Structure 1
Amino acid sequence: MPDQVVLTLSFVAALAILPGLLRRHAGFPGGPSGGFLLSGLAGLLGYVVWDLFAHGFLPVTSAIEQLRDRLDDATTMLTLGALFLAGIALAFGLLMWRDAELDRAEGAPAEGGRHSVGPGTVAAAELTGVATAAGARRRAMVLAAGLGLHGVLVGLAIGSNGKRDEIAFTCMLAIAAGLYALAQGYLLAGIFREGARLSLGTRLLMALTVGAPLFLATLGGMYLSEDEATVGLCGLAGGALAYAALRLVLGAAERHGKRLAVWGVLTGLLVGFVGDILLITFAGSVD
């Protein structure tokens, strides 16, 4: 896959947060429609997680077959397996740590508001009131940093798999990252609906904090295309997206009921499968 295409996909995904973030008076849709969209996004992310885990585990299964056929020893299998599992665990651990840091930094919820659900997984209607301009800026930058960490984990996998010419798979990763960033931009706009307003400069700084790590990580991931690196990076990205999907669907179920969340997840999964089929068909690549 040409480097320019990989970087273009990553750049577009990095910019996807801007449409929502730059709006002053509107956030993510509320009510059941917002819950359905969030759980649908969780379903789409779930499909991409499955795809990531399938790609990441493929070299492990190949090493197992080599071991069974007595063509190799157990070193390769154990190394690749450990890297894959470590990537998943590290992604979950980093995002859970960032979540805990956010809770500690915020202390009690602002009057009339609630805690955010953590890095990269801002829930609808949870950012509706910030008491002061300084508090708004502080919370906004903390949340943007959490999204930036999430972007690093996914961007590495985009770059690594793009370099291996896995066209449809890389496109799905970039699309998922872009849609996730787009939704988070509108969710973050909830900060601006009530109370203190953030300046345009602060918003642009937030967008840079979110988008630059994704793009730079993609660039770095293009130099990590060996099996060992790809396995670990697929584990990292899969763990990060799985964490995000879980938080999204749990938030939607809590606010709008399990039935709506389940239908949203199903819709997202179907969209993921159909989208992948179309990408494979038109990209001419079965990864």
Structure 2
Amino acid sequence: MSHAAAAALGAIAGATIFVGLPVGRIRGLSRAVQGSLNAIATGVLVFLLWDILSHASAPVETGLAALRRGDRSFVGLVVIFGVGLGIGLLLLVYFNGRLFGRTKQAPPAPPKTLAMMIATGLGLHNLSEGLAIGQSAATGAVAFAVILVIGFALHNITEGFGIAAPLALDTTMPSWGFLLTAGLIGGGPTFVGTVVGYAFTSIYIYVLFLALAAGALLYVINEMFHIGRRVNTPA
């Protein structure tokens, strides 16, 4: 498979994130429906977190098995995983606290801010997915690459909903430009990862971006729970 064909597959896999984004422009929802949307979106993010951690831990487990044969890659993978997880979490803590002046006692992040945080975390995740597509295509595993594209494309539809759900709780309707930006941040890295993965292969980079995504989603999920408590509290 050529580099251009692989890049096209990566673009298709990332573009499906736009399917779920229009949900963010729905208005006039009752508190019960808002709570349900938030709960579903939180569930999607929890599943994605589990999926990310599963994929990130696989190379670490392989490295542990190889350690018995004298391969030292396990140590590096563990360090990268731990550092990536911490940076992914702390960057959003800094971003939300320093740039928006929020404290522990402050209300949850504004819906648009939260949506962009989710898009950022998912973008890091999708970069690693793109790396997997590109690496598979580059090694000649075309059938496997196509299967990955189909799976990731379906996966990204739910990710688009995860980004849009907080926006449905906002009093101000997001513009199409905002949704386009969020979609590019969340889905664009799939294309970028495919292009890079076709030309360059590194298990360390793969684990790093998965760990960054996991750390970011940990923070976002906590914010989603905060919103859920607020929505489900009687007015």
Shorter-chain TM-score bucket reads 0.7 to 0.9
Task: Give the letter for the 1:245 counterpart.
Answer: I
Higher helix share: 2
Give the corresponding residue for 2:16: 12
Q: 2:58 and 2:225 mapped to 1: Cα distance? A: 28
CA contact (8 A) 1:17 1:184 kept: no
Give 1:55 deviation, angstroms: 0.8
Give 1:97 deviation, angstroms: 1.7
Q: 1:65 and 1:40 mapped to 2: Cα distance? A: 38
Provide closer, same or farther for how the CA distance between residues 56 and 221 of structure 1 changes in structure 2, counting only shifts above 3 A: same
Q: Is structure 2 residue 162 aligned with structure 1 residue 180?
A: yes
Give 1:6 deviation, angstroms: 3.1
Aligned residue among 118, 121, 125 for 2:109 = 118
Q: 1:79 and 1:46 mapped to 2: Cα distance? A: 27
Deviations 1:21-51 (A, max 9, x none): 3x6xx16x33233213312221222122111
Identity %: 20
CA contact (8 A) 2:89 2:216 kept: yes
> Normalized against structure 2, the TM-score is what?
0.74
Q: How many residues of Structure 1 are paired with residues of Structure 2 in the alignment? A: 212
Give 1:147 deviation, angstroms: 5.2
Q: Is structure 2 residue 128 aligned with structure 1 residue 152?
A: no
> Normalized against structure 1, the TM-score is what?
0.62
CA contact (8 A) 2:16 2:157 kept: no
Give the corresponding residue for 2:140: none
Aligned residue among 214, 217, 231 for 2:207 = 231
Provide closer, same or farther for how the CA distance between residues 172 and 91 of structure 1 changes in structure 2, counting only shifts above 3 A: farther
Give the stretch that moved more between structures: 57-66 or 244-253: 244-253
Q: 2:60 and 2:115 mapped to 1: Cα distance? A: 35
Q: CA RMSD in A?
A: 3.1
Aligned residue among 183, 186, 191 for 1:211 = 183
Give 1:171 deviation, angstroms: 4.4
SS in 2 for 1:182: helix
CA contact (8 A) 2:81 2:207 kept: yes
CA contact (8 A) 1:41 1:245 kept: no
Give 1:53 deviation, angstroms: 0.6
Give the corresponding residue for 1:260: none
Deviations 1:77-120 (A, max 9, x none): 1111111122221211122122114532x99xxxxxxx76237x
CA contact (8 A) 1:156 1:221 kept: yes
Q: 2:222 and 2:151 mapped to 1: Cα distance? A: 22
- Segments of 5+ residues of structure 2 without an aligned counterpart are 137-144
Provide closer, same or farther for how the CA distance between residues 187 and 3 of structure 1 changes in structure 2, counting only shifts above 3 A: farther
Task: Give the letter for the 2:157 counterpart.
Answer: I
SS in 1 for 2:172: helix
Task: Give the letter for the 2:219 counterpart.
Answer: Y
Give 1:252 deviation, angstroms: 1.0
Q: 1:12 and 1:116 mapped to 2: Cα distance? A: 32
Give the corresponding residue for 2:192: 220
Give 1:175 deviation, angstroms: 3.3
Q: Which structure: larger Rg?
A: 1
Give the corresponding residue for 1:49: 49
